[in-house]
């Protein structure tokens, strides 16, 4: 079975913390390719690479959220047993990261891990995803743009639609994983990131993630819209690096 995690730092022989990144819908390793240069070399960085994108392009898309979560939990559980672990997910990735954390860490106490949920409403305040089965492709893209999930103007790019729409549709069906997220599911520090100009995931909805954990919760605002992950890389990685270093010091 193909590996679901891609190691961005195979040259790092001595590490004391693992960072696993979950990309937004339609994204892959490319989103995080530059992150190693922003983070301490004591952190090993892996990225979730779902079937149907980048080096797994020849594989069929996975649309069963429970199957995907099971695969992620199986891949990440050994990393949790090694010591410090940071899970970071943006948008759809935040839902998958939280759902995976619930499977890996539910019932565990004293775990050295941190969960980042970025640019995503908590499941208790989530908006329903548009149903691609009831919309034409371009109406579907328009709907995602209106929700702040796509940059304006991309819907008129025919090449973008041809290359990206299939992966985007498949990934957004994985949003159903949020239905399985429970309150007080983990005992982990959770950090919610939100964009000051992101109308789709405002502070009020990100704060609702506090209900997911019996541990600590805090939120951090970042200048930008839903795409602050790419426009504010240094700010985002600084927050992650701080969390990773806190695990390393323990």
Residue 126 has pLDDT above 70, yes or no: no
pLDDT for 162 equals: 67
CATH of the domain at 28: 3.40.50.1820
Report the residue count for the chain: 250
The total domain count for the chain is 1
Sign, CA dihedral 219-22-195-182, equals negative
- Tell me what the mean pLDDT of segment 88-104 comes to: 96
187 belongs to a structural domain:
yes
What is the tens place of the pLDDT at every residue in 76-85? 999 988 879 9
Domain that holds residue 184: 5-126+178-248
Angle between helices 92-105 and 65-82 (to 10 degrees): 60
Q: How many CB atoms lie within 10 A of CB 172?
A: 21
Q: Is residue 149 part of a domain?
A: no
Task: Determine, yes or no, domain membership for 142.
Answer: no
1 band by pLDDT with thresholds 50, 70 and 90: very low
* Residue 139 vs residue 207, higher pLDDT: 207
User: pLDDT above 70 covers what percent of the chain?
Assistant: 82
Instruction: Check whether 133 has a pLDDT greater than 60.
Output: no
Residue 138: pLDDT over 70: no
Residue 146 lies in a domain: no
- Is the per-residue pLDDT at 130 higher than 60? no
**Centroid of chain to Cα 212:** 16
Give the residue, 112 or 169, on which the prediction is more confident: 112
Q: What is the pTM of this model?
A: 0.89
CA 53 – CA 109 distance, rounded (Å)? 36
Q: Is residue 163 part of a domain?
A: no
Q: What is the pLDDT of residue 142?
A: 60
pLDDT in tens, 149-208: 555 555 556 666 666 777 777 877 888 898 999 999 999 999 999 999 998 899 999 999
Higher pLDDT residue, 176 or 36?
Answer: 36
């Amino acid at each position: 079975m193909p590996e679901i995690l891609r190691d961005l730092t195979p040259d790092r022989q001595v590490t004391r913390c693992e960072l696993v990144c979950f990309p937004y819908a339609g994204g892959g390793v490319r989103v995080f390719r530059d992150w190693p240069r922003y983070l301490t070399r004591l952190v090993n960085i892996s990225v979730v690479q779902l079937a149907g994108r980048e080096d797994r392009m020849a594989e069929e898309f996975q649309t069963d959220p429970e199957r995907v979560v099971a695969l992620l939990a199986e891949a990440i559980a050994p990393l949790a047993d090694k010591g410090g672990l940071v899970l970071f997910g943006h948008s759809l990735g935040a839902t998958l990261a939280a759902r995976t954390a619930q499977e890996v860490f539910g019932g565990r106490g004293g775990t050295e891990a941190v969960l980042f949920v970025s640019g995503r409403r908590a499941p208790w305040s989530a908006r329903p995803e548009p149903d691609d089965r009831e919309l034409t492709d371009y109406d579907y893209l328009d709907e995602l743009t209106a929700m702040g999930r796509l940059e304006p103007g991309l819907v008129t790019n025919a090449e973008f639609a041809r290359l990206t729409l299939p992966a985007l549709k498949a990934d957004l069906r994985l949003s159903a994983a949020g239905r399985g997220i429970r309150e007080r599911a983990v005992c982990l520090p959770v950090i919610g990131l939100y964009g000051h100009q992101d109308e789709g995931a405002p502070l009020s909805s990100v704060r609702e993630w506090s209900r997911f954990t019996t541990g600590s919760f805090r939120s951090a605002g970042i200048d930008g819209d839903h795409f602050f992950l790419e426009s504010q890389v240094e700010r985002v990685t600084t927050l992650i690096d701080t969390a990773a270093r806190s695990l390393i010091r323990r």
